[in-house]
Chain A
Amino acid sequence: MIKNFVLGLLVLIVSVPTILFAEAKHMPSSISWEKSLEDAVAKAKDTGKPVLLDFFMIA
Protein backbone atom coordinates (compact mmCIF):
# COMPACT_ATOMS: atom_id res chain seq x y z
CA MET A 1 0.00 0.00 0.00
CA ILE A 2 2.73 2.43 1.04
CA LYS A 3 4.87 1.21 -1.85
CA ASN A 4 2.04 1.95 -4.32
CA PHE A 5 1.53 5.38 -2.79
CA VAL A 6 5.24 6.21 -3.10
CA LEU A 7 5.33 4.95 -6.68
CA GLY A 8 2.25 7.01 -7.54
CA LEU A 9 3.80 10.08 -5.96
CA LEU A 10 7.01 9.56 -7.95
CA VAL A 11 5.07 9.27 -11.20
CA LEU A 12 3.23 12.49 -10.37
CA ILE A 13 6.43 14.36 -9.50
CA VAL A 14 8.08 13.31 -12.75
CA SER A 15 5.09 13.77 -15.07
CA VAL A 16 3.68 17.14 -13.98
CA PRO A 17 6.78 19.22 -14.82
CA THR A 18 7.12 17.31 -18.09
CA ILE A 19 3.54 18.13 -19.07
CA LEU A 20 3.94 21.76 -18.02
CA PHE A 21 7.19 22.04 -19.97
CA ALA A 22 5.58 20.55 -23.06
CA GLU A 23 2.76 23.10 -22.79
CA ALA A 24 5.19 25.95 -22.23
CA LYS A 25 7.28 24.99 -25.25
CA HIS A 26 4.42 26.03 -27.55
CA MET A 27 3.71 29.35 -25.84
CA PRO A 28 5.94 32.42 -26.04
CA SER A 29 6.82 33.34 -22.48
CA SER A 30 7.85 36.92 -23.15
CA ILE A 31 8.67 39.48 -25.79
CA SER A 32 12.13 38.96 -27.30
CA TRP A 33 13.53 42.43 -26.62
CA GLU A 34 16.76 43.39 -28.37
CA LYS A 35 19.60 44.91 -26.36
CA SER A 36 20.47 47.88 -28.57
CA LEU A 37 18.87 49.92 -31.34
CA GLU A 38 21.81 49.10 -33.61
CA ASP A 39 21.11 45.37 -33.19
CA ALA A 40 17.39 45.92 -33.69
CA VAL A 41 17.91 47.93 -36.89
CA ALA A 42 20.35 45.32 -38.22
CA LYS A 43 17.81 42.55 -37.56
CA ALA A 44 15.08 44.67 -39.12
CA LYS A 45 17.16 44.93 -42.29
CA ASP A 46 17.73 41.17 -42.33
CA THR A 47 14.15 40.17 -41.65
CA GLY A 48 12.18 42.97 -43.30
CA LYS A 49 10.30 43.53 -40.06
CA PRO A 50 9.87 47.01 -38.59
CA VAL A 51 11.36 47.98 -35.23
CA LEU A 52 9.14 48.49 -32.19
CA LEU A 53 10.93 50.96 -29.95
CA ASP A 54 9.48 51.18 -26.43
CA PHE A 55 10.62 54.02 -24.19
CA PHE A 56 10.04 53.33 -20.51
CA MET A 57 11.28 54.84 -17.29
CA ILE A 58 12.76 53.23 -14.22
CA ALA A 59 13.96 55.95 -11.85
Chain B
Amino acid sequence: MDTVTYPNTAVIDYINKNFIPIQVNIKTSVDLLTKYRVFWTPAILILDSRGTEYYRIEGFLPSDEFIPQLKFGLGRMALEKGDYKKASSELKVVIDTYPKSDAAPAAQYWLGVSDYKATHNTDALLSAWREIMKDYPNSIWAHKVSFAF
Protein backbone atom coordinates (compact mmCIF):
# COMPACT_ATOMS: atom_id res chain seq x y z
CA MET B 1 0.00 0.00 0.00
CA ASP B 2 2.80 2.39 0.94
CA THR B 3 4.62 1.95 -2.35
CA VAL B 4 1.71 1.76 -4.82
CA THR B 5 -1.65 2.93 -3.50
CA TYR B 6 -0.89 5.58 -0.87
CA PRO B 7 1.44 7.66 -3.12
CA ASN B 8 -1.37 7.95 -5.70
CA THR B 9 -2.50 11.58 -5.79
CA ALA B 10 -6.21 10.71 -6.04
CA VAL B 11 -5.88 8.48 -2.96
CA ILE B 12 -3.94 11.15 -1.04
CA ASP B 13 -6.56 13.74 -1.89
CA TYR B 14 -9.51 11.50 -1.06
CA ILE B 15 -8.13 10.33 2.28
CA ASN B 16 -6.98 13.77 3.41
CA LYS B 17 -10.39 15.25 2.57
CA ASN B 18 -12.59 12.52 4.02
CA PHE B 19 -10.74 10.84 6.88
CA ILE B 20 -8.50 11.33 9.85
CA PRO B 21 -5.87 8.76 8.85
CA ILE B 22 -3.50 6.90 11.14
CA GLN B 23 -0.99 4.12 10.44
CA VAL B 24 0.11 1.66 13.09
CA ASN B 25 2.80 -0.99 12.91
CA ILE B 26 1.39 -4.26 14.23
CA LYS B 27 4.80 -5.11 15.68
CA THR B 28 4.64 -2.15 18.03
CA SER B 29 0.88 -1.80 18.56
CA VAL B 30 -0.15 -5.12 20.02
CA ASP B 31 -2.92 -3.49 22.07
CA LEU B 32 -4.65 -2.15 18.95
CA LEU B 33 -4.05 -5.42 17.15
CA THR B 34 -5.92 -7.22 19.92
CA LYS B 35 -8.63 -4.59 20.27
CA TYR B 36 -9.52 -4.70 16.57
CA ARG B 37 -8.82 -8.43 16.06
CA VAL B 38 -6.31 -7.86 13.27
CA PHE B 39 -4.19 -10.86 12.29
CA TRP B 40 -3.02 -9.96 8.78
CA THR B 41 -1.80 -6.89 6.95
CA PRO B 42 -2.60 -4.70 5.25
CA ALA B 43 -5.82 -4.19 7.19
CA ILE B 44 -7.58 -0.86 6.80
CA LEU B 45 -10.43 -0.09 9.18
CA ILE B 46 -13.01 2.68 9.08
CA LEU B 47 -13.90 3.85 12.58
CA ASP B 48 -16.32 6.44 13.84
CA SER B 49 -15.29 9.21 16.21
CA ARG B 50 -15.69 6.85 19.17
CA GLY B 51 -13.21 4.40 17.69
CA THR B 52 -15.90 1.87 16.79
CA GLU B 53 -15.18 -0.13 13.66
CA TYR B 54 -17.74 -0.04 10.83
CA TYR B 55 -15.87 -1.41 7.83
CA ARG B 56 -12.58 -3.07 7.00
CA ILE B 57 -10.51 -3.80 3.92
CA GLU B 58 -8.10 -6.71 4.20
CA GLY B 59 -5.32 -7.23 1.67
CA PHE B 60 -3.71 -4.97 -0.90
CA LEU B 61 -5.85 -2.97 -3.32
CA PRO B 62 -4.74 -0.70 -6.17
CA SER B 63 -6.06 2.86 -6.13
CA ASP B 64 -8.86 2.23 -8.65
CA GLU B 65 -10.37 -0.36 -6.30
CA PHE B 66 -9.29 1.24 -3.04
CA ILE B 67 -11.16 4.54 -3.44
CA PRO B 68 -14.51 2.89 -4.29
CA GLN B 69 -14.00 0.54 -1.34
CA LEU B 70 -13.49 3.52 0.96
CA LYS B 71 -16.60 5.23 -0.41
CA PHE B 72 -18.51 1.98 0.00
CA GLY B 73 -17.28 1.76 3.58
CA LEU B 74 -18.60 5.25 4.29
CA GLY B 75 -21.91 4.22 2.81
CA ARG B 76 -22.08 1.10 4.96
CA MET B 77 -21.19 3.11 8.06
CA ALA B 78 -23.95 5.64 7.35
CA LEU B 79 -26.40 2.80 6.72
CA GLU B 80 -25.54 1.08 9.98
CA LYS B 81 -25.90 4.38 11.82
CA GLY B 82 -29.35 4.88 10.29
CA ASP B 83 -28.38 7.87 8.15
CA TYR B 84 -30.09 6.52 5.04
CA LYS B 85 -29.85 9.72 3.04
CA LYS B 86 -26.07 9.81 3.39
CA ALA B 87 -25.81 6.05 2.88
CA SER B 88 -27.75 6.13 -0.38
CA SER B 89 -25.72 9.12 -1.56
CA GLU B 90 -22.35 7.42 -0.89
CA LEU B 91 -23.47 4.13 -2.39
CA LYS B 92 -24.80 5.83 -5.52
CA VAL B 93 -21.42 7.48 -6.03
CA VAL B 94 -19.77 4.07 -5.99
CA ILE B 95 -22.25 2.71 -8.54
CA ASP B 96 -22.19 5.74 -10.83
CA THR B 97 -18.49 6.62 -10.64
CA TYR B 98 -16.93 3.18 -10.33
CA PRO B 99 -19.37 0.83 -12.09
CA LYS B 100 -16.61 -1.63 -12.99
CA SER B 101 -15.23 -1.87 -9.46
CA ASP B 102 -15.85 -4.87 -7.21
CA ALA B 103 -17.55 -2.51 -4.77
CA ALA B 104 -20.26 -1.55 -7.28
CA PRO B 105 -22.53 -4.64 -7.08
CA ALA B 106 -22.22 -4.64 -3.29
CA ALA B 107 -23.12 -0.94 -3.28
CA GLN B 108 -26.16 -1.70 -5.47
CA TYR B 109 -27.30 -4.35 -2.98
CA TRP B 110 -26.97 -2.09 0.04
CA LEU B 111 -28.50 0.85 -1.83
CA GLY B 112 -31.66 -1.22 -2.08
CA VAL B 113 -31.50 -1.92 1.64
CA SER B 114 -30.91 1.76 2.43
CA ASP B 115 -33.79 2.91 0.23
CA TYR B 116 -36.05 0.29 1.79
CA LYS B 117 -35.04 1.27 5.33
CA ALA B 118 -35.74 4.91 4.50
CA THR B 119 -39.12 4.36 2.86
CA HIS B 120 -40.33 0.89 3.95
CA ASN B 121 -41.23 0.52 0.30
CA THR B 122 -40.55 -2.96 -1.03
CA ASP B 123 -40.57 -1.66 -4.59
CA ALA B 124 -37.50 0.48 -3.79
CA LEU B 125 -35.67 -2.61 -2.59
CA LEU B 126 -36.65 -4.75 -5.55
CA SER B 127 -35.91 -1.98 -8.02
CA ALA B 128 -32.35 -1.64 -6.76
CA TRP B 129 -31.84 -5.38 -6.60
CA ARG B 130 -33.20 -5.82 -10.13
CA GLU B 131 -30.29 -3.67 -11.30
CA ILE B 132 -27.89 -6.24 -9.85
CA MET B 133 -29.49 -9.00 -11.91
CA LYS B 134 -29.18 -6.77 -14.99
CA ASP B 135 -25.74 -5.20 -14.51
CA TYR B 136 -23.88 -7.74 -12.38
CA PRO B 137 -25.47 -11.11 -13.18
CA ASN B 138 -22.27 -13.04 -12.44
CA SER B 139 -21.56 -11.46 -9.07
CA ILE B 140 -22.24 -13.11 -5.74
CA TRP B 141 -24.71 -10.28 -5.14
CA ALA B 142 -26.87 -11.60 -7.97
CA HIS B 143 -27.03 -14.90 -6.09
CA LYS B 144 -27.98 -13.07 -2.91
CA VAL B 145 -31.00 -11.42 -4.55
CA SER B 146 -31.98 -14.26 -6.88
CA PHE B 147 -34.64 -15.54 -4.46
CA ALA B 148 -36.62 -12.33 -5.00
CA PHE B 149 -37.10 -12.75 -8.76
A-side interface residues toward B, CB under 8 Å?
27-37, 39-41, 43-45, 47-59
A31/B21 in contact, CB under 8 A:
yes
Give the number of residues in B that approach A within 8 Å (Cβ atoms).
Answer: 40
B-side interface residues toward A, CB under 8 Å?
1-2, 6-7, 9, 11-13, 15-16, 18-27, 29, 32-33, 36, 38, 41-51, 54, 70, 74, 77
B18/A55 in contact, CB under 8 A:
no
B15/A56 in contact, CB under 8 A:
no
Q: Which residue of A lies closest to B46 (CB)?
A: A50
Chain B interface SS verdict (over half):
mixed
Given contacts A28-B12, A28-B13, A50-B74, contact A55 B51 (CB under 8 A): no
B42/A34 in contact, CB under 8 A:
no
A56/B42 in contact, CB under 8 A:
yes
A-B contact pairs, 22 of them (CB 8 A): A28-B13, A32-B21, A33-B23, A34-B22, A35-B22, A40-B20, A40-B22, A41-B51, A44-B48, A48-B49, A51-B19, A51-B22, A51-B46, A52-B15, A52-B21, A52-B44, A53-B36, A55-B24, A55-B38, A56-B1, A57-B25, A57-B26
